[in-house]
Amino acid sequence: MSMSRPLLGVVSLSLTVLLGGGLSGCGVAGTAFHPGVAAQVDGDTITVSKVDDVAHSYCDAIVKQLQAQNQALPLSYLRGGVAGELTLRAAAEQFAHKYGVGPGDQYQRKVTQLQTATSTLPQDQVDAVVEIESAGTYISGVQQAVGEKLLQQQGTAQPSLSAASKAGAKAFVAWLDQQDVDINPQFGVELKNGQAVPTDTSVSYPLSDAAKQGTAQTPDQTYAAGLPASHRCG
């Protein structure tokens, strides 16, 4: 696979998002999550199996790149980032539906670029890369479209792109605050100010130095490389 830039987990998606959770799909004591539920977005459900499928396929897509750079990621770290991105994308889809807008041409160009770059990979890996790597473009495109619509309603005939993006991002944050959006605490991620960010809500708190190395904002490479192959990417 020839990519113009590194994929998620190394540079392109903020590593601070990719904080780990547990590996089980069981319900979490003291929460409203049913077994197998990774996130709930105002009535829509993202399953743990969906997160796992995307995370594993994404890992398969980037593993050679990671190995070439002598890097590795704990799979739990990757799963947290995927859970956050899928939840944020699902929320943005509902936001777009509310205002009757789409993500714009830039989103389709991004999808086409990713499909071309991953054309030699198996379909599940292509789908995973496209789903995760295009999420940010989808969200920013929706925010821009909503912002443009809102500013036009306020009397600005031709809002600038920056003004529309700023207004749309502000509206998205305000809208999110009114929605029932929850991510299973096992993933250690939440939506805050319109972004997926790490939290300290993991139901499996790190007690040892080794565990802390695995859940740091940038995982310790010695620790990650020492994990069993089934628990790391790279």
Would you state the structure tokens that stand for residue 42, as one six-digit string?
A: 């105002």
pLDDT value for 19: 34
pLDDT value for 217: 54
Per-residue pLDDT averaged across 98-109, rounded? 97
Tell me how far apart the alpha carbons of residues 200 and 213 are, in angstroms, rounded to a whole number.
15
Confidence label for 34 from pLDDT (cuts 50, 70 and 90): confident
pLDDT value for 44: 92
Tell me how far apart the alpha carbons of residues 41 and 172 are, in angstroms, rounded to a whole number.
14
Per-residue pLDDT averaged across 170-181, rounded? 95
Would you state the structure tokens that stand for residue 192, as one six-digit string?
A: 């805050």
pLDDT value for 226: 79
Per-residue pLDDT averaged across 117-124, rounded? 95
Per-residue pLDDT averaged across 108-115, rounded? 95
Per-residue pLDDT averaged across 11-24, rounded? 33
Highest mean pLDDT among 8-12, 144-148, 185-189, 227-231: 144-148
Per-residue pLDDT averaged across 155-183, rounded? 95
Q: What share of the chain is helix, strand, coil (3-state, %, to 5)?
A: 55, 10, 35
Would you state the structure tokens that stand for residue 205, as one six-digit string?
A: 């708190």
Percent of the chain scoring above 70 in pLDDT: 77
pLDDT value for 109: 96
Average per-residue pLDDT in the chain? 81
- The predicted-structure confidence for 57-71, as pLDDT tens digits, reads as follows 999 999 998 888 888
Per-residue pLDDT averaged across 16-41, rounded? 55
Residue 29 DSSP SS3: coil
Per-residue pLDDT averaged across 151-163, rounded? 95
pLDDT value for 10: 35
